[in-house]
Amino acid sequence: MFELKDKVAIITGARRGMGRTHALILAKAGAKVVVSDISLEECQKVVEEIKAQGGNAIAVKCDVTKREEVDEMVKKAVKEFGKIDVLVNNAGILQFKPFMELTEEDWNKILNVNLLGYFRCAQAAVKEMIKQKSGTIVNIASIGMGQTGVGFPAISHYCASKGAIVAMTEAMALELAPFNIRVNAIAPGAIDTPMSQGGDPKTMEATLARIPLHRIGKPEEVSNLVLFLASDASSYITGSTVIIDGGWLAT
């Protein structure tokens, strides 16, 4: 049931971090993978890794803030593999800045990638999924999404983008269920990627102290959840946000 044989999956922001491991793990499960990110050269390296493990993938340059590149990514996926079954909206950016110092430019930059980027990619992919009356979309949010009992200072615009992703996921799930398209979100806690390595070591120590499993998550652990939500193993799950945080929110 976790198999993705003959399925086609697009992963955004897949040159490094969790996007890279999503691409590798979905390919291992049999998916034909479209590895997309801003740098084509870097995507090509991930494609080589996938091919080395016996998988099938192509690299496509796509900056999710550019509608024409998003449309081109979907076009290339369909041209190469004939359809799109899975979209993993993963490309994201983070900026640490106190609320009172934030500018409209900061807000627009974060929302343009983290929220509108997901919207653009989903709208383009759903046009194809509707034709075949099936598909799954996995939107990567964060436990910074709000209403969890845990708040994160100095990233209010990032948290707002992640909360909006969860709200958008629910609305999309309702609208797309008649087309047999499932839409879910994942809310990771602290995961070991270049994004989380950019923080202050003291903050990381304090974070670890709050995590019952007392370690930061591995990107592959999130990718396994992506695989579950992308596959038929989760066939009755839509409109949900699944938390993966080592027990952080249970404290």
Which residues contribute to the site for ligand NAP (CB under 6 A)? Answer: 12-13, 15-19, 37-39, 62-65, 90-93, 113, 117, 140, 142, 188, 190-191, 193-196
Among the listed residues 81, 158, 228, 248, the single catalytic one is 158
Nearer to ligand NAP among residue 61 and residue 182 (C-beta): 61
* CB contact at 8 A, 22 and 90: yes
d(CA 137, CA 79): 20
Phi, psi angle pair for 41, to nearest 5°: -60, -45
Q: Which residues contact 21 (CB under 8 A, 6 or more apart)?
A: 219, 220, 222, 223
Which residue's CB is nearer to ligand NAP, number 91 or number 229?
A: 91
Residue type, 90: N
Q: Do residues 98 and 44 lie in contact, with contact meaning Cβ atoms separated by under 8 Å?
A: no
* Burial class of residue 34, CB neighbours in 10 A (0-12, 13-18, 19+): buried
**Residues 145, 150, 151, CA angle at the centre, nearest 5°?**
70
> Closest CB to ligand NAP among 82 and 247?
247
**What are φ and ψ of residue 199, in 5° steps?**
-80, 175
CB of 195 to ligand NAP, least distance (A): 3
CB of 220 to ligand NAP, least distance (A): 12
Pick 65 or 224: Cβ nearer ligand NAP: 65
Shortest distance in whole angstroms from residue 239 CB to ligand NAP: 19
Query: Cα torsion at 224, 242, 232, 170 (round to 10°)?
Result: -140
63 or 170: whose CB is closer to ligand NAP? 63
Strand 32-37 and strand 8-11: pairing?
Answer: parallel
CB of 90 to ligand NAP, least distance (A): 5
Is 236 catalytic? The answer is no
Least distance (Å) between residue 59 CB and ligand NAP: 13
Active site residues: 158
